[in-house]
Structures are given as structure tokens and as C-alpha cells.
A = this chain, B = another copy of it.
Amino acid sequence: MSDLAAALEVVGARWALLIVERLLDGPQRYGDLQRELGVPTNMLAIRLRELEAAGVLSRLPLKHNTRAYALTDRGLALRAAIVALGRWGAEQVRTANKGRDPGDHGGGVADA
């Protein structure tokens, strides 16, 4: 199995990479992830469990019965891949507006 296939086994499932992307901004709580991503709640629960089991993220207990999810080192190591894919997606979006788009000429590569 190729390295890429190994990576996709962990973060190839639907929503997984998007969850990690949100977490790159710092720890988030369950409800925040759900609202910002629009992911179905049962899927979110499953993904968080899988990603925790894979060592990509960990749960930090907060007050009361709440917790936050934070990336581990292994999760943070995904930043390069996520940025690369995001850049490609941005180009995709720009050229998806087929035809010319007069008025936009800024070098708009949304950097990170």
C-alpha cells in the first residue's frame, strides 16, 4: 500500500480533513465544529473518535461536562498537506468562474 493510501485510510473519510483544518486554528468544542462545518452530528462524533484513535487529535476536558478537541503533533503535521490542497482548491474556484472576471487581478493566492 502506498504512503498516500495510508494517509487516506486515516484522513480520507468524509469530513475528516475539514475537521482537522478547523482545528489548525486552535482547540475547538464539539458544538463549534458542528456549527461551522455543518457536519451531521453523528458523523462528527464518529470522526472525532476515529481521529482520536489514530492519534491525530485529543480531547481536553474543560469545565463542567464540556471538552475541547485539539490536534496532536501528528495532527499538526497535516498542515502542509491541507494548505497545499487548499491552494489547489482555490485555483479550482477561480477558474470555475469560467470566462474572464474583470476587476480581479490581485495575486490572490490565499496564503497561510
Please tell me the number of chain A residues within 8 Å of chain B, measured between CB atoms: 37
Determine chain A's interface SS by DSSP, over half rule: helix
Chain A 3-42, CB-CB to B under 8 Å as 1, else 0, gives 1111110111010011001000000000000000000000
B89 touching A6 by the CB < 8 A rule? yes
* Interface flag for A2 (CB, 8 Å): yes
- Enumerate A70-96 residues with CB–CB distance to B below 8 Å: 74, 77-78, 80-93, 95
Chain B residue contacts of A18, Cβ below 8 A? 2, 4-5, 8
Asked if A110 lies at the interface with its beta carbon under 8 angstroms from chain B, I say yes
Task: Return the contact of A6 from the options B17, B55, B90 (Cβ within 8 A).
Answer: B90
